[in-house]
Chains A and B, each alone.
Chain A
Amino acid sequence: MKLFHLFSFFAAYLVADSSDVENSVGQFFSSGHTNNWAVLVCTSRFWFNYRHVANTLSVYRSVKRLGIPDSHIVLMLADDMACNHRNPKPATVFSHKNMELNVYGDDVEVDYRGYEVTVENFLRVLTGRLPLSTPRSKRLLSDDRSNILIYLTGHGGNGFLKFQDSEEISNVELADAFEQMWQKRRYNELLFIIDTCQGASMYERFYSPNIMALASSQVGEDSLSHQPDLAIGVHLMDRYTFYLLEFLEDIHPASKANMNDLFKVCPKSQCVSTPGHRTDLFLRDPGSVLITDFFGSVRKVEITTEAINLTDPIQQQEESSVSEDANKEMYSYVDQLPVSEIIHQKPKQKDWHPPDGFILGLWTLILLVFFKTYGIKHLKHIF
C-alpha cells in the first residue's frame, strides 16, 4: 500500500513536471502573434513642442533596440526638431537634460514627416486604404497575426487629439478605425499608448476586441512635461514617456517583464497626473502578456542539429551571343546649350484634342437654326 502511494506520488510528480515543461512550451506558442508592427505618431508642430518629438523618438529607439526593424515601423513626425534652425546642436534630439541621450541617433527613418502627418493619412495608414503608388515604407502591412503598438503624443483634450494645430481626431473616429482594422483582420492584438493631456478620454470609446490601452492622464488632468534644458531652451520630454523610457531601457529581448509592470510605470508621485489603463477588451490576462510581445520582435526559433542537403548550385546562364556591332546604332552626348537650335526652335505643337461639348453644342444650335429658318429642302445642296 505504502509502495503504491509512493509510486503514485512519484508518478504524479513526474506528470506534474512534464506538464510544467508543456506549460512553458505552451506559453512559448500561446501569444499567437508572428510579427510585430509599430505606428509612432507625433502630432505637434513648432519648436516649443520639442518634447513631443523627443517622446516619439524615445519610443522609436526602444522599439528598434528590442528588435522591430525599420520596415515594420511607421514613424510620423509632424515637425523637424533635429535640423530646426533653432536647435543649438543640429541633428540631435535629446531626452535628458545635459544632453545625455540623443534619441535621434544616426540611423533614423521617418516615414511621414512635416505636412504629411494629417488625420487623413493617419487613418489611412491604420485602415490600409492608401493610394496605389504609396511606397512600402509608408504602409502598415499587418495581418491577422500581427501585434501592433500604437503610440500617440501631442496636445489633446477631452475626446480629441490635435494634429499640427489645424485639425483634430476624435476618440470616436479612432475607435471606428480600430474596428475597421478588426473587421479586416489587420491585427492580432493592439497596444495603444497615448501621452497627452486628458489622454484617458481617447480610449473610452474603443469597442473592438484585443485592445489594451494606456494613457498618461485621466479626464480632467493635464500631462506635464519633465524638465527643461537651459542650453536648448525648451522642455525635453513629458513625464510619462520619460519614465516609460527609463522602464524600457531595462528591458532586453529575452526579458520576462509583463504588462502589470508597465501599468505601474510613473505613479502619481512621479507623474503628477494619474496614468490610466484599460484591459477589459483584452482576452488574455495582462499578467501573462510580455512587454516584448508589443515592444520587441521576438522571433520563434527552432534549433535543429540535423543536416540538410542543399540542392546543386545554380549554374550561371551563359549570355546569349552579342549581335553584330555593325547593326547597333551609335549613341552620342547632347549639346548642352545649343544656342542656334534654341533660337530657331519651333513652338511646341499642341496635342490635338477633339472639340469639346461647348463647340459641338454651338455648331448643333447653328445648324438647327439654319434648317428651321430655311427649311429642309436646302439639305441636298449641302450633301
Chain B
Amino acid sequence: HELWEAVLPLIVLLCGGGQLKDDFQEELVIRPLHSGDIYASFHFRTLWETDFMKGNKVSHYRLFPKSLGQVISKFSVRELHISFTQGYWRTMQWGQPYLPSPPGAELWVWFQDTVTDVDATWKELTNVLSGIFCASLNFIDSTNTVQPSASFKPLGIANVTDHRFLRYATLPREIVCTENLTPWKKLLPCGSKAGLAVLLKSEKLFHSSFHSQAVHIRPMCQDSQCKTPSWELRQTLNVVFDLHTSGQGKQEWSLFKMFSRTLTEACPLASSSKIYIDITDNPQVGEQFELIPATPLLRQAVVLGDRRTFSVYDLTQQVTFGTVRSLNLLIRWKSTEGHMLRPLLHAERYVAGYGLQTGEIHTLMYNNHPFRSFSVLLLDSVPWYLRLYIHTLTVTSKGKDNKPSYIHYQPSKDRIRPHLLEMLVQLPPHSVTEVTVQFERALLKWTEYTPDPNHGFYVGSSVISALVPSTVAMDTNNTQERTLFSSL
C-alpha cells in the first residue's frame, strides 16, 4: 500500500508536464457500395509537435509509438509509407478508394538529406520494419527496389526533392494475416481495448473481399506560417465486406454484422472520435436506405473531387450510445436502384501471350471525362527475369500513336536490379490508352526458384499518379477543421 501511495504522486506529476502536445484522432468512414457490398475505412492519426529532423534527441513518448519514433530518428527518415493489402480493388464496381494500395506489401520512403549511404540505410530500415510488422520485408533488396525519378513526390513538407533520397519497393507475394494486424494494433494509443479499434477483429476482417492496412508517417505544417514541422502518424485500415460471404445475401449492414462487435466508448486519449456514413446516394432521408439510430449531425466534405454528404456519429458524446450504452449502427436498404458515377480514371493491366518464353504486358488507362484531358505518370517496375524489349513499347490512344512527353527508363541488370519505366502520358478525353511492351523470360538457376515454383511468379503493380480534374475546387486552407479521410 505504501508503495502505491509513493508512486501515485510521481505519475500525476509526469502527466501534468504538458510539454508534449500530441493529439490523437480516430475516424471510421462507412460507404455503402452499389454492388451491395460495404466499404469501411478506419483512420487513426497522431499528430505530435516535435522535430525529428536536425538530429533532435527525442526521448519522452506519449501517444506517438516509441518503436516508430526510434525508427525515424535512427534512419533519418523524412517520410515513410507502408501498406499491406490482401485482395484486389475493383474500381469499376466500387469506385475509387480513399487511399489506393497494391496487393501484397508496398514500402516507399523519403530519407532526409543528411543520409550519406541511402542503399545501406534502406536495407537496415527494411530489416527493422520486418521485425516491427512481422512481415518478410527483409526480402526487399536491390532486385526489387527502384528509385522513381518523377513519381512519389513527398506528401509532407519538403523544401528540396532530390529523388536520390527516395526508394520504392513492392513485395506482391506478401501475405497479410493476423500476425500483421497484431503489431499494427499495438501502435495505437488505446491499443484494441477502447475506441474504434475494438472493432478490429481478425476473423471478420480477413473474411472480406479486400483488406488493406497502412502506416503513413510524414512531417506537416503546424500552422499557416509553417515555420516548425509537426509529425503525423496516420494508420489506415480499409476493408470491403462482400454481400454474400459476410452479408448472407441480405442488403442490411450493421456494425455487429460487419465486425461482430459494437461500440461502447471512445478512446479516452482521443480528442475526436467519429463515425461518418456516406449518405450522398440517399438525399431524401429514408429513400434508399435508413440509418438506425438516426443522427441529426451532418457533414459535407470534398472527397476525391466529389462533394459528398455524411451523417456523423460523435463517440465522445454520451448521447450517441443511448440508453443501452452501446452503439450498433444499422443500415437497412429499401430499394436497390441507383447508378454509380463512373470513376474518371481507372486502369487495368494484364499479361498477354502464350507459353513460357515470351509475352506482352498490356496496361489500359481509361479516361472517362467527357471533354477534359489530363496527364498521368505511369511507373512500372518489372523484375529482371522478365526481359523487357523497350523497342516494342507502344502507346496508343483511340487507335493513334500517343507519344509520351517524358520517358525515363532504367534497364535491368540480371540479379541486381529491376526494370524501371516512367512515362508521362496525356490521356485524351473519353478514351482508352493502351501501353504495351513485349518481354522474354530469362532462365533462372534452380536455386532461384521458390520452394513452391508451381505457384508462379508475381510482377508488382504499376503505379499511376494523376491529378484528375474535378468539378469541385480543392480547399487548401489547412487551418480549418477537416475530416481525416479527405485530407491525405
Partners in one complex: yes
Interface residues of A (CB under 8 A from B): 45-46, 80, 82-83, 89-92, 104-111, 113-116, 131, 133-138, 164-166, 307-310, 313-314, 316, 319, 325, 328-339, 342-343, 345, 348
Pair B127/A134 contact, Cβ less than 8 Å: yes
Pair A330/B225 contact, Cβ less than 8 Å: yes
Query: In this complex, what residue of A is CB-closest to B126?
Result: A133
Within 8 Å by CB of A164, from B157, B229, B424, B451, lies B451
Pair B465/A109 contact, Cβ less than 8 Å: no
Query: In this complex, what residue of B is CB-closest to A310?
Result: B6
Pair A332/B157 contact, Cβ less than 8 Å: yes
Q: Which residues of B contact A89 (CB under 8 A)?
A: 203, 207
Binary A-proximity of B244-270 (CB < 8 A = 1, otherwise 0):
000000000000000000000000000
Query: In this complex, what residue of B is CB-closest to A341?
Result: B150
Within 8 Å by CB of B131, from A108, A113, A138, A343, lies A138
Pair A336/B123 contact, Cβ less than 8 Å: no
Q: How far is the CA of A156 from the CA of B107 in the complex (A)?
A: 38
Pair B10/A83 contact, Cβ less than 8 Å: no
Query: In this complex, what residue of A is CB-closest to B377?
Result: A337
Q: Which residues of B contact A332 (CB under 8 A)?
A: 157, 159, 226
Q: Which residues of B contact A309 (CB under 8 A)?
A: 6
Binds A, one of B176-184, B291-299, B352-360: B176-184
Sampled A-B contacts (11; CB under 8 Å): A106-B201, A106-B203, A108-B179, A110-B134, A113-B136, A113-B175, A131-B127, A313-B10, A334-B157, A334-B161, A337-B375
Q: Which residues of A contact B153 (CB under 8 A)?
A: 334-338
Q: Which of A116, A133, A329, A335 counts the most chain B CB atoms within 10 A? A: A133
In the complex with contacts A310-B6, A328-B228, A114-B406 CB distance below 8 A = no
Within 8 Å by CB of A91, from B3, B177, B424, lies B177
Pair A342/B424 contact, Cβ less than 8 Å: yes
Pair B178/A108 contact, Cβ less than 8 Å: yes
Within 8 Å by CB of B465, from A91, A308, A337, lies A337
Q: Which residues of B contact A116 (CB under 8 A)?
A: 136, 138-139
Q: Which residues of B contact A111 (CB under 8 A)?
A: 131, 134
Query: In this complex, what residue of B is CB-closest to A112?
Result: B136
The yes or no answer to B282 lying at the interface (CB within 8 A) is no
Pair B179/A110 contact, Cβ less than 8 Å: yes
Pair A325/B227 contact, Cβ less than 8 Å: yes
Q: How far is the CA of A166 from the CA of B203 in the complex (A)?
A: 32
Pair A333/B157 contact, Cβ less than 8 Å: yes
Q: How far is the CA of A118 from the CA of B294 in the complex (A)?
A: 56
Pair A91/B139 contact, Cβ less than 8 Å: no
Within 8 Å by CB of A319, from B19, B183, B228, B467, lies B19
Pair A113/B179 contact, Cβ less than 8 Å: yes
In the complex with contacts A106-B201, A310-B10, A348-B149, A337-B467 CB distance below 8 A = yes
Pair A90/B465 contact, Cβ less than 8 Å: no
Count residues of B near A (Cβ-Cβ below 8 Å): 65
Query: In this complex, what residue of A is CB-closest to B478?
Result: A333
Pair A45/B452 contact, Cβ less than 8 Å: yes
The yes or no answer to B466 lying at the interface (CB within 8 A) is yes
Q: How far is the CA of A83 from the CA of B86 in the complex (A)?
A: 9
B112 → chain A, closest Cβ, in Å? 13
Pair B179/A109 contact, Cβ less than 8 Å: yes
Pair B182/A83 contact, Cβ less than 8 Å: no
In the complex with contacts A46-B452, A109-B134, A336-B206 CB distance below 8 A = no
Within 8 Å by CB of B134, from A113, A131, A136, A314, lies A113
Query: Besides the contacts A134-B127, A310-B7, what 17 more A-B pairs have beta carbons closer than 8 Å?
Result: A82-B177, A89-B207, A90-B203, A91-B178, A104-B178, A106-B201, A113-B135, A115-B450, A136-B131, A164-B451, A307-B2, A313-B9, A330-B225, A332-B159, A334-B154, A334-B158, A337-B375
Q: Which residues of A contact B303 (CB under 8 A)?
A: none
Q: How far is the CA of A133 from the CA of B126 in the complex (A)?
A: 9
Q: Which residues of B contact A319 (CB under 8 A)?
A: 19
Query: In this complex, what residue of A is CB-closest to B86?
Result: A83
In the complex with contacts A334-B154, A339-B424, A328-B207 CB distance below 8 A = no
Pair A45/B201 contact, Cβ less than 8 Å: no
A49 → chain B, closest Cβ, in Å? 12
The yes or no answer to B35 lying at the interface (CB within 8 A) is no
The yes or no answer to B405 lying at the interface (CB within 8 A) is yes
Pair B226/A331 contact, Cβ less than 8 Å: yes
Interface residues of B in 1-56 (CB under 8 A from A): 2-3, 6-7, 9-10, 13-14, 17, 19
Binary A-proximity of B114-158 (CB < 8 A = 1, otherwise 0):
000000000110011011101110110000000001100111111
Q: Which residues of A contact B13 (CB under 8 A)?
A: 313
Pair A331/B157 contact, Cβ less than 8 Å: yes
Pair B202/A166 contact, Cβ less than 8 Å: no
Q: How far is the CA of A314 from the CA of B405 in the complex (A)?
A: 62
Query: In this complex, what residue of B is CB-closest to A115?
Result: B450
In the complex with contacts A328-B227, A333-B156, A109-B183 CB distance below 8 A = yes
Q: How far is the CA of A74 from the CA of B317 in the complex (A)?
A: 44
- 9 residue pairs, one from A and one from B, having the closest CB atoms: A135-B131, A83-B177, A133-B127, A331-B157, A164-B451, A91-B206, A91-B202, A90-B206, A110-B179
Pair A135/B229 contact, Cβ less than 8 Å: no
In the complex with contacts A310-B6, A328-B227, A106-B451 CB distance below 8 A = no
In the complex with contacts A328-B227, A330-B227, A337-B377, A345-B149 CB distance below 8 A = yes
Q: Which residues of B contact A135 (CB under 8 A)?
A: 127-128, 130-132
Q: How far is the CA of A113 from the CA of B154 in the complex (A)?
A: 32
A346 → chain B, closest Cβ, in Å? 11
Q: How far is the CA of A345 from the CA of B130 in the complex (A)?
A: 35
The yes or no answer to B217 lying at the interface (CB within 8 A) is no
The yes or no answer to B205 lying at the interface (CB within 8 A) is yes
The yes or no answer to B221 lying at the interface (CB within 8 A) is yes
Pair A83/B226 contact, Cβ less than 8 Å: no
Within 8 Å by CB of A342, from B127, B130, B150, B206, lies B150
Query: In this complex, what residue of B is CB-closest to A77?
Result: B179
Q: Which residues of B contact A83 (CB under 8 A)?
A: 86, 175-178, 206
Query: In this complex, what residue of A is CB-closest to B12?
Result: A313
Q: Which residues of A contact B135 (CB under 8 A)?
A: 113
B70 → chain A, closest Cβ, in Å? 12
Q: How far is the CA of A166 from the CA of B124 in the complex (A)?
A: 28
Q: How far is the CA of A372 from the CA of B95 in the complex (A)?
A: 77
Pair A166/B451 contact, Cβ less than 8 Å: yes
Query: In this complex, what residue of B is CB-closest to A110?
Result: B179
Pair A165/B157 contact, Cβ less than 8 Å: no
A205 → chain B, closest Cβ, in Å? 26
Pair A106/B182 contact, Cβ less than 8 Å: yes
Query: In this complex, what residue of A is CB-closest to B163?
Result: A348
Query: In this complex, what residue of A is CB-closest to B454?
Result: A46
Binary A-proximity of B218-239 (CB < 8 A = 1, otherwise 0):
0101000111110000000000
Pair A316/B17 contact, Cβ less than 8 Å: yes
Q: How far is the CA of A116 from the CA of B451 in the complex (A)?
A: 11
Query: In this complex, what residue of A is CB-closest to B150?
Result: A342
Q: How far is the CA of A166 from the CA of B138 in the complex (A)?
A: 21
Within 8 Å by CB of A165, from B225, B229, B452, lies B452
Q: Which of B130, B176, B177, B206 counts the most chain A CB atoms within 10 A? A: B177
Q: Which residues of A contact B156 (CB under 8 A)?
A: 333
Q: Which residues of A contact B157 (CB under 8 A)?
A: 331-334
B59 → chain A, closest Cβ, in Å? 11
Pair A316/B19 contact, Cβ less than 8 Å: yes
Q: How far is the CA of A330 from the CA of B149 in the complex (A)?
A: 25
Query: In this complex, what residue of A is CB-closest to B450?
Result: A115
Query: In this complex, what residue of B is CB-closest to A342?
Result: B150
A29 → chain B, closest Cβ, in Å? 25
A33 → chain B, closest Cβ, in Å? 26
Q: How far is the CA of A330 from the CA of B159 in the complex (A)?
A: 9
In the complex with contacts A91-B203, A110-B179, A115-B450, A137-B465 CB distance below 8 A = no
Query: In this complex, what residue of A is CB-closest to B123?
Result: A133
Pair B178/A82 contact, Cβ less than 8 Å: yes
Q: How far is the CA of A104 from the CA of B177 in the complex (A)?
A: 10
